[in-house]
Amino acid sequence: MSEEAAIEVRFWGVRGSIATPGPTTVRYGGNTPCVEVRAGGRLIILDGGTGLRCLGQSLLRAGKKVDADVFFSHMHWDHIQGFPFFTPAFIPGNSFRVYGERKGNQSIREVLGGQMTDPNFPVPLSVMMSNLTFHEVAPGDVIELGDVRVRTAPMRHPGGCLGIRIEHRGRSFVYATDTEHDPVAGTLDDNLVELSRGADVLCYDAMYTEDEYRAGKVGWGHSTYAEGVRVARAAGVRQLYFFHHEPNHTDAFLDERLALARRWLEADEPLAFEMAREGESVLIG
């Protein structure tokens, strides 16, 4: 981590719903959500999509014991399917504190373990020999990790989803994947605006164009590029990253959408934005 940065973010998976490897997604990436955050000497992992496998390989190459806090925004498959392939979790001496919401009568441990059972997967959760502990989180909870603060808020998504804000040394990063605005009232989500208030960086679910959203995606729990800009403006965000890219959106399409979105801004507006890209690092502070 840079000595100048209060928070360092790296994207390992930025695609939504299903992994999309191939020549048309190679620049922005085809892995499902996983974001690495470094702050206050801690490693914080957000979500465990297929990008988590790639992060695991990077941690193995570093050749050090791994100690991390892992936060799951929710338990939909594209956000947990990399967990069984996260090699550091199988290695004794590594430690992971896993946080997420309870789902009905199932704990987060039971949900994650459920996808690692026959006939879906041949290796059970019990084979993970690292020190794994599981902690239930509810929307609105605040978790203190040394001098790093993690705040959560409810997002609008079928089955529920946590928005996550990480704060350190006066800097902040907000992870708001899998969220939807109110298309009928046209109002912003107050929970999300407050979670994002004054954030240095907001990572936002901009899965659809406005036309795609209106043509049959209402109620699916995902949002649009235009809504991301509205939220960022209302919250006074400094930089916005569009995230959770739709599986059918190619590199060329995302290039076009980014160019179009930039034309929406007035020349003197302070908000900057980018498409989240696999492998990209963001230094905050």
CATH H superfamily, domain 7-284? Ribonuclease Z/Hydroxyacylglutathione hydrolase-like (3.60.15.10)
Judge whether residue 266 has pLDDT over 70: no
Judge whether residue 172 has pLDDT over 60: yes
Judge whether residue 3 has pLDDT over 70: no
- The predicted pLDDT at position 186 comes to 76
What digits encode the pLDDT tens for the residues 86-106? 999 999 999 999 999 998 899
- The predicted pLDDT at position 268 comes to 55
Judge whether residue 256 has pLDDT over 80: yes
Beta strands at 239-243 and 272-275: parallel, antiparallel or unpaired: parallel
> Do 42 and 53 contact (CB within 8 A), yes or no?
no
Once rounded to an integer, what is the mean pLDDT over residues 65-94? 98
Closest CA to 164 of 111, 113, 201: 201
Instruction: Express as a percent the part of the chain with pLDDT over 90.
Output: 87
- The predicted pLDDT at position 17 comes to 96
C-alpha separations of 180 from 223, 259, 282 in Å: 5, 23, 25
Average pLDDT of the chain to the nearest whole number: 94
- The predicted pLDDT at position 269 comes to 67
Once rounded to an integer, what is the mean pLDDT over residues 7-33? 98
Residues ≥6 apart with Cβ < 8 Å to 37: 7, 8, 9, 43, 44, 45, 46, 166, 173
Judge whether residue 148 has pLDDT over 80: yes
pLDDT class of 68 with cuts at 50, 70, 90 = very high
What digits encode the pLDDT tens for the residues 175-233? 999 999 887 777 899 999 999 999 999 999 999 999 999 999 999 999 999 999 999 99
What is the CB neighbour count within 10 angstroms for residue 64?
9
- The predicted pLDDT at position 104 comes to 86
- The predicted pLDDT at position 284 comes to 97
Residues ≥6 apart with Cβ < 8 Å to 31: 12, 13, 14, 15, 19, 49, 50, 51, 53, 54, 82, 278
Judge whether residue 121 has pLDDT over 80: yes
pTM: 0.96
pLDDT class of 2 with cuts at 50, 70, 90 = low
Once rounded to an integer, what is the mean pLDDT over residues 127-135? 98
